[in-house]
Structure 1
Amino acid sequence: MARGILYVESEPNSAEEAAAYHEWYDSTHMKEMLGIDGLVSARRFAPLTGEGAFVAVYEIEADDVAAVEARLAEATKSGRFSAPVGLRTDKPPTVRFYREIATHTA
């Protein structure tokens, strides 16, 4: 089975909207995303310095990672997701799909 990740960088619209952004992202958006067939887990990360974008990493397990990308695009286009709360839109989120090419363990 092919594996990959979906990497997303995004930011709250303002410091005043940060709490609402995090609540929406964690309580609503990540659950909606995990409803996409092939997305099996999700994690979020904050910058150590407190400045810059937040990162979400969605793990993909599917025979075809590109098909997961297509399903996500279709879900987005069809309006399946809730409206973002507090999400910065003048600098749209960075969205990248990656396929796994090697695995190493300690």
Structure 2
Amino acid sequence: MNSKMLVFSNAVAGQDDAFNDWYDNVHLAEVVEVPGVIKGERYEIAPSALGGGGEPPHRYLAVYELSGDPDEVAKAFGAKAATGEIKLSPTLDMSTLSVQIWRARGTD
């Protein structure tokens, strides 16, 4: 099954450098260790001439490529978070965090 996990996030105000250091050097590797996560890439918002109604709600995006059943990947992620194998940083603004799993249309 071809699916992606999209994680939209922000740093706590004034903590972008520490947030990006944690995400790039710790968190990304922890998530890629979850069974069913093939790889992950991070992005930051780029100014665009496309417009669209002002500043977007999120500054950062992580895209993870998944294999297998997305529900199983989500369960494995939750299990690793519960045991502390995946740690969250206090620099992550949890009030704006948005995580969704998307699958390619026409797949089961």
Give the C-alpha shift of residue 36 in structure 1. Answer: 0.3
Residue identity (%): 22
Instruction: Tell me whether 1:93 sits opposite 2:97 in the alignment.
Output: yes
User: What's the TM-score, normalizing by structure 2?
Assistant: 0.81
Over residues 53-79 of structure 1, what are the superposed CA-to-partner deviations in whole Å (9 max), with x where a residue is unaligned? Answer: 2110000012x2211111111112222
Instruction: Tell me whether 1:80 sits opposite 2:79 in the alignment.
Output: no
List alignment gaps of at least 5 residues for structure 2.
49-54
Instruction: Tell me whether 1:37 sits opposite 2:32 in the alignment.
Output: no
User: What's the TM-score, normalizing by structure 1?
Assistant: 0.82
Deviates most, 94-103 or 28-37: 94-103
Asked if the contact 1:5–1:98 (Cα under 8 Å) also holds between the matched residues in 2, the reply is yes
- CA RMSD in angstroms comes to 2.0
Instruction: Tell me whether 1:61 sits opposite 2:100 in the alignment.
Output: no
State the match for 1:9 in structure 2. 8
- Could you list the runs of 4 or more consecutive aligned residues of structure 1 that deviate by over 2 angstroms after TM superposition? 49-52
Aligned residues: 99
Give the C-alpha shift of residue 21 in structure 1. Answer: 0.2
Give the C-alpha shift of residue 85 in structure 1. Answer: 4.3
Q: The residue matched to 1:12 in structure 2 has which SS?
A: coil
List alignment gaps of at least 5 residues for structure 1.
none
